[in-house]
Amino acid sequence: MRNKTSITKCASDPFQTHRAISRGTRCQRRIKLPKLLGQGIRVGFCIVLLGGVLWGVPEGAAADKTTENTRPSLPEAGTQLPASPVSARVSAVVNFEELARQEAAMPEPKGPPVPRVIHPPITPPEADAPAPFIETLPYGVLEPVLPSAPSPNPSASFAGLDDIPKVGLNTIVIPPDTDGAVGLTKVMVDLNNNYRIQDKATGAALGTVSIDTFWAASGGSGFFDPKALYDPINDRWIIIVLSGGGSANSSINIGVSQTSDPSGSYYIFRVDADSTNTNWADFPTIGFNQNWVAVNVNMFTISNNIYANSRMLVVDYAQLRNGTFSGTLITGTGFCSSPAATYSPTEGTLDVPVHLSSASGTYRVDTITGTPGNPVYTIGATKSRGLTWTQPSGDILPQAAPLAGTSACGATPCRLETQDAQIRSTPVVREGSLYQNMPEYPPALLGG
């Protein structure tokens, strides 16, 4: 069984991205900032995952994502979280085009595809959020926002990276975890199997490299959950991936392109997720501004896969672009705290929206301030979205039938996995407004 990704892009704006994935419908809402956005958000590209997905477990990780996980109590607004400097265990330079050329010359693997099953994101129950303290500035209560102008039609549409085996192997990774980024002339698509660079105008594949080959120089193994962002301000590509899931080798791997060309060379670094080898890192979220690249991860115990805490790796962005790693680990962030992609050359604050409770419809916006080498993470006040819902769980709505063969669910296509209501896609700050994508499920879809 294979899944396939497709990409749709809009000519008017190469910087914005929106993902529609097999875990449920995502609705986009705007959080008002002091400055007003002059026009509606425009979709840059869309990755769509079709077909059933068979979930499973990697070595060392538990299967049950509904374990008795609980979340630590929420810190008070204004709390500054503890931070400590961290070094990269490995640094290296890799060239995408050269690796793609080497792998293209390899003989085709023989034999049928072999599935490698990795875990789905693990979600503990939502904590009971405190009663919201409503502020009007800098963030107000969300109200329905209508687009100021119709979304432009796609200027082109082409297939992205297929859910194919890793280059040089017959290994298919389940699930593929679709992701990607759009630049001025090229598109980078990253799945749990491979990276592919495509021409933005034609969709032509310009090079494909397996995820294992690309990150091999980092010294990690068992790579999963890749994310990619294009930074239009500095004209760079930022990529991350986790490795060593469920083990003491758990690591955060981060890279940045040396130039504007995603087919060129990258500085890559591997950072130990937990120096005590007690917890392992799952499901990264990524954002940036002029000062930092930030990666949040959810930490689970290696011994019994119970949620321990969340932490954020904050890296000096200017140093990173110059090939030097200067990082800080901040412990105590929220589950799936999501740093924003900040499209501003002057904004010194990195916003980090955090979903708190579906039952009370609450969230907060944390902030990272300070200097590039000394970031300060401050907890934001609890706020209300103005609506509530039931935390999604279980499976809803049938997916499309498999492209070939039969699904794990038999004749009836498998249903969509709702997962949760967390902010799992990168929020965007642009022209004074903060945008975020998150799943919200009407009761009718949940059987209510």
- Domains of the chain, by residue range, sit at 56-135+161-389
Alpha carbons 258 and 236: distance in angstroms, whole number:
7
Alpha carbons 320 and 255: distance in angstroms, whole number:
8
Tokens of 228: 């990619």
Residue percentage of the chain with pLDDT more than 90: 55
Residue 153's pLDDT band, with cuts at 50, 70 and 90, is confident
Residue 440's pLDDT band, with cuts at 50, 70 and 90, is low
Residue 103 Ramachandran class (φ > 0 left, ψ -120 to 50 alpha, else beta): alpha
Is there a contact between 179 and 20 (Cβ–Cβ < 8 Å)?
no
pLDDT of residue 405: 65
Residue 375's pLDDT band, with cuts at 50, 70 and 90, is very high
Radius of gyration of the chain from its Cα atoms, rounded to whole angstroms: 21
pLDDT of residue 150: 82
**∠ CA(377), CA(382), CA(383), 5° rounding?**
125
Question: CA 124, 425, 1, 211 torsion: positive or negative?
Answer: negative
Is pLDDT at 5 greater than 80 in this prediction?
A: no
What is the DSSP pairing of strand 428-430 with strand 341-342?
Answer: parallel
Residue 154 Ramachandran class (φ > 0 left, ψ -120 to 50 alpha, else beta): beta
Is there a contact between 446 and 418 (Cβ–Cβ < 8 Å)?
yes
Q: In 192-341, where does DSSP find H-type helix?
A: 211-215, 317-321
Tokens of 412: 């009836």
CA 347 to chain centre: 22
> Which is nearest to 116 in space by CA: 198, 254, 211?
211
Tokens of 397: 């709505």
Helix (H, G, I), strand (E, B) or coil at 309: strand
What rounded mean pLDDT belongs to the chain? 79
Residue 154's pLDDT band, with cuts at 50, 70 and 90, is confident
197 CB-near residues (< 8 Å, 6+ apart): 96, 100, 186, 187, 188, 205, 206, 207, 208, 262, 263
> Which is nearest to 268 in space by CA: 17, 425, 98, 96?
96
Cis peptide before 138 (omega within 30 of 0): yes
pLDDT of residue 1: 35
**Mean pLDDT along residues 108-134:** 70
Is pLDDT at 52 greater than 80 in this prediction?
A: no
pLDDT of residue 19: 32
Residue 439's pLDDT band, with cuts at 50, 70 and 90, is low
Is pLDDT at 319 greater than 80 in this prediction?
A: yes
Helix (H, G, I), strand (E, B) or coil at 394: coil
429 CB-near residues (< 8 Å, 6+ apart): 33, 289, 340, 341, 342, 343, 344, 347, 351, 435
Residue 132's pLDDT band, with cuts at 50, 70 and 90, is very low
**Mean pLDDT along residues 407-428:** 76
Topology (CATH level 3) of domain 56-135+161-389: Neuraminidase (2.120.10)
Beta bridge partners of 270: 90, 253
Burial of 95 (0-12, 13-18, 19+ CB in 10 A): middle
Lowest mean pLDDT among 66-70, 73-77, 280-284: 66-70
Is pLDDT at 219 greater than 90 in this prediction?
A: yes
pLDDT of residue 55: 30
Lowest mean pLDDT among 6-10, 168-172, 257-261, 349-353: 6-10
261 CB-near residues (< 8 Å, 6+ apart): 186
Is there a contact between 244 and 221 (Cβ–Cβ < 8 Å)?
yes
Is pLDDT at 419 greater than 90 in this prediction?
A: no
**Mean pLDDT along residues 281-288:** 97
The winner for highest mean pLDDT among 70-79, 345-354, 357-366 is 345-354
More confident of the two residues 186 and 3: 186
What does the longest C-alpha to C-alpha distance in the chain come to? Answer: 62
pLDDT of residue 415: 72
What is the DSSP pairing of strand 374-378 with strand 224-231?
Answer: unpaired
Alpha carbons 239 and 266: distance in angstroms, whole number:
9
For residue 286, the number of C-alpha atoms closer than 13 Å in the C-beta half-sphere is: 27
